[in-house]
Chains A and B, each alone.
Chain A
Amino acid sequence: MEAYLLNLGVLVSIYAILAVTLNFIMGYAGIFSLAHAVFFGVGAYVGAQVGMHFSASLIVTIPAAMAVSAVLSLMLALPALRVRGEYFVAASLGLQMLAVTVFSEWKGMTGGIGGLIGIPAVRMFGEDIYRPAAFFPLAAGAAILVLIVTRLLVRSSLGRSLTAIRDSESAAESFGKNVALIKTISVVVSAALAAVAGVLYANYLSFINVESFTLDTSVLVMAMVIIGGTGTALGPIVGAALLLLLPGMLSYLWFLPQTQIGAIQQIIYGLGMAVLMIFRPGGLVGRSGARRRTRKAGGGK
């Protein structure tokens, strides 16, 4: 039981990093990306390769993964600058599908569909950290750090600029905001921080393959953000915890066919998204009434 909870804690921490970083661009920059799993994957593969061939120290793997992810995120920034709304969703979707093909075909880097095995565990204080009991504090610490960094950014002038651009791009640029640069920075920051989750994931499982970085993952992370509350501080974390607890909770319901748990889980979060959008578009944590009016004011361009 304890091992189960610690394992769950690690996964919640890792997905919380993804949800928090996706929320950073979704909630504040209004960039609605379906390609977040790409940066999770890039972080995992780079972290794994660096770990296997150079050094398993997080001081090496994390910066390397963040750097590669940041550079690749320019692929996402490019359409984000040119188009918005449904066009951008489609572009990010295209990027996600392309990335999955590359992940499964670039065997030298990703091990192809078989994936990479034998990824070394993190070494800290002279010990390998792989047991959930030891890894959980590390993962939770990383998640808290990422949350703090994004909160600071949101409350900084960059965060204000992002909100200003989302609310009125033309007014923002009339006051000297370099819209292209600010949006690009936000995408790069989000992707680089998402890569941290990838590194931790690869180290923790010691095995990764493309299955973890598909559109389904992007959708899952998006659902975490939306169900928790887009543009709120704690919403994404609540969403991550809730959606990862769901399979465990369902397995306690003895009357459900156990082989269908995966499907039932997806049905619940699919319908959950739809119902929330109808009755509480701000998410569980969001201000429902106020949020609605804002969305109306902010949307429809």
Chain B
Amino acid sequence: MTAQALASLSEEVLLEIRGLEKSFGGVKAVSDVSMDLRAGIVTTLVGPNGAGKTTLFNLITGHLTHSGGSVRWLGRDIGGMKPYRIARLGIARTFQDLRLFKDMTVEENILTVMEPGALPFSFTGPSAREKRERVARVMERTGLADKARTRAVDLAYAERKFLSLARIMAAKARLWLLDEPASGLDPNSYATFLRLLREEVAAGVTVCIIEHNLDIVVGSSDRIAFLDRGRLLADGDPKTVLEDPELTKIYFGDRV
């Protein structure tokens, strides 16, 4: 699919990345990457380990500062902004290693992401009752309702993944950056995950996922961006990208 064809799916560009560069001590982790994330489209980033996928996320969220190019959110340059300010614009993310708030209960983990303000009591945000209700709703949907008082550190693996997802669901962001959200899930949990993702996308969330499992990729995304050694090698609809023999060779390497 061409860029024009993609554009016809959705008009609004949420995130516009142009010529993005990041090097670590001379090694280019991200090199001249340009792409648009459009409202309502699920984009999957694929590519071998070390391709620069997570680095790209870190550059978007401000955890890393780019060394060239630009990142724009709704037309506004967000390069060099602090992560918390970028988050408040409506960009939320998950981490490959989850980074849950280990010492807090499931309930508190979800509650705290709804309260970005620094003051102990907020008069402008959602009311305490509304927050409780939203927390309950999110816990229900992610199947964590009966774990509300369990501390994150005491959860099983799949439950932790769902808590990570629950946090981002509660954060009310427009753009989600998910770093391997489905890795290690059993088929049941995986089906739940996909259902939740579809529901959220239907409700208006735009998603960008890093994923290794190509079956997941084909089934759940509208578009694939293929990264290798920091370069964006292909960007288009799943079939076209995955049928490209060159890319398959890079991706599977000596396994094929």
Q: Do chains A and B touch in the complex (CB under 8 A)?
A: yes
A87–chain B nearest beta-carbon distance, Å: 21
At the interface, is chain A mostly helix, strand, loop or mixed? helix
B102 near A167 with CB under 8 A, answer yes
Q: With CB as the reference atom, state the residue of chain B lying closest to A185.
A: B118
Say if the beta carbon of A259 comes within 8 Å of chain B.
no
Instruction: Please encode chain B, from 202 to 218, with 1 for each CB lying within 8 Å of some chain A CB and 0 for all others.
Output: 00000000000000000
Give the docked Cα–Cα distance between A153 and B120 (Å): 6
Within 158-181 of A, Cβ neighbours of B (below 8 Å) are at 158-161, 163-164, 166-168, 170-179, 181
Residues of A within 8 A of B119 (CB): 157-158, 185
Of B83, B87, B118, chain A has the most CB atoms within 10 Å of the CB of: B118
Which of B99, B113, B116, B122 lies in contact with A170, CB distance below 8 A? Answer: B99
Of B95, B101, B119, chain A has the most CB atoms within 10 Å of the CB of: B101
Give the docked Cα–Cα distance between A1 and B100 (Å): 53
Segment of A97-105, A122-130, A291-299 in the binding face: A291-299
Say if the beta carbon of A182 comes within 8 Å of chain B.
yes
Say if the beta carbon of B36 comes within 8 Å of chain A.
no
A168 near B101 with CB under 8 A, answer yes
Given A170-B63, A293-B153: A177 in contact with B103 (beta carbons within 8 A): no
Residues of A within 8 A of B104 (CB): 160, 163-164, 167
Residues of B within 8 A of A176 (CB): 84, 87-88, 113, 116, 171
Give the docked Cα–Cα distance between A163 and B112 (Å): 10
Give the docked Cα–Cα distance between A175 and B109 (Å): 11
Residues of B within 8 A of A158 (CB): 118-120
A170–chain B nearest beta-carbon distance, Å: 6
Residues of A within 8 A of B167 (CB): 175
Q: What bracket does the count of chain B residues touching chain A fall in?
A: 20 to 34
Which of A161, A167, A294, A298 lies in contact with B118, CB distance below 8 A? Answer: A161
Q: With CB as the reference atom, state the residue of chain A lying closest to B125.
A: A157
B102 near A173 with CB under 8 A, answer no
Residues of A within 8 A of B118 (CB): 158, 161, 177-178, 181-182, 185
Within 246-301 of A, Cβ neighbours of B (below 8 Å) are at 290, 293-294, 297-298
Instruction: Please encode chain B, from 152 to 165, with 1 for each CB lying within 8 Å of some chain A CB and 0 for all others.
Output: 01000000000000
B122–chain A nearest beta-carbon distance, Å: 7
Instruction: Please encode chain B, from 110 to 144, with 1 for each CB lying within 8 Å of some chain A CB and 0 for all others.
Output: 01110111111110000000000000000000000
B95 near A170 with CB under 8 A, answer yes
B123–chain A nearest beta-carbon distance, Å: 12
Q: With CB as the reference atom, state the residue of chain B lying closest to A159.
A: B120
Residues of A within 8 A of B84 (CB): 173, 176-179
B122 near A294 with CB under 8 A, answer no
Say if the beta carbon of B54 comes within 8 Å of chain A.
no
Give the docked Cα–Cα distance between A74 and B107 (Å): 33
Instruction: Please encode chain B, from 161 to 175, with 1 for each CB lying within 8 Å of some chain A CB and 0 for all others.
Output: 000000100010000
B103 near A167 with CB under 8 A, answer yes
Within 61-92 of B, Cβ neighbours of A (below 8 Å) are at 61, 63, 82-84, 87-88, 92
Residues of B within 8 A of A167 (CB): 100-104
Say if the beta carbon of B38 comes within 8 Å of chain A.
no
Give the docked Cα–Cα distance between A171 and B112 (Å): 11
Of B109, B115, B122, chain A has the most CB atoms within 10 Å of the CB of: B115
Interface contacts beyond A156-B121, A174-B87, A178-B84: sample of 18 additional A-B pairs, CB < 8 Å, sorted by A = A156-B120, A157-B115, A157-B117, A157-B122, A158-B119, A160-B104, A160-B115, A164-B104, A171-B100, A174-B61, A174-B95, A176-B113, A177-B116, A177-B118, A178-B116, A290-B151, A298-B102, A298-B103
Interface residues of B (CB under 8 A from A): 61, 63, 82-84, 87-88, 92-93, 95, 99-104, 108-109, 111-113, 115-122, 151, 153, 167, 171
Instruction: Please list the 5 inter-chain residue pairs (A to B) with the smallest Cβ-Cβ separation, ordered nearest first.
Output: A176-B116, A156-B120, A171-B99, A158-B120, A157-B115
Query: 30 A-B contacts, Cβ less than 8 Å apart?
Result: A156-B121, A157-B111, A157-B119, A160-B104, A160-B115, A161-B112, A161-B118, A163-B108, A167-B103, A168-B99, A168-B100, A168-B102, A171-B100, A171-B101, A173-B82, A173-B87, A174-B83, A174-B92, A174-B95, A175-B116, A176-B84, A176-B113, A176-B116, A178-B116, A178-B118, A182-B118, A185-B119, A293-B153, A298-B102, A298-B103
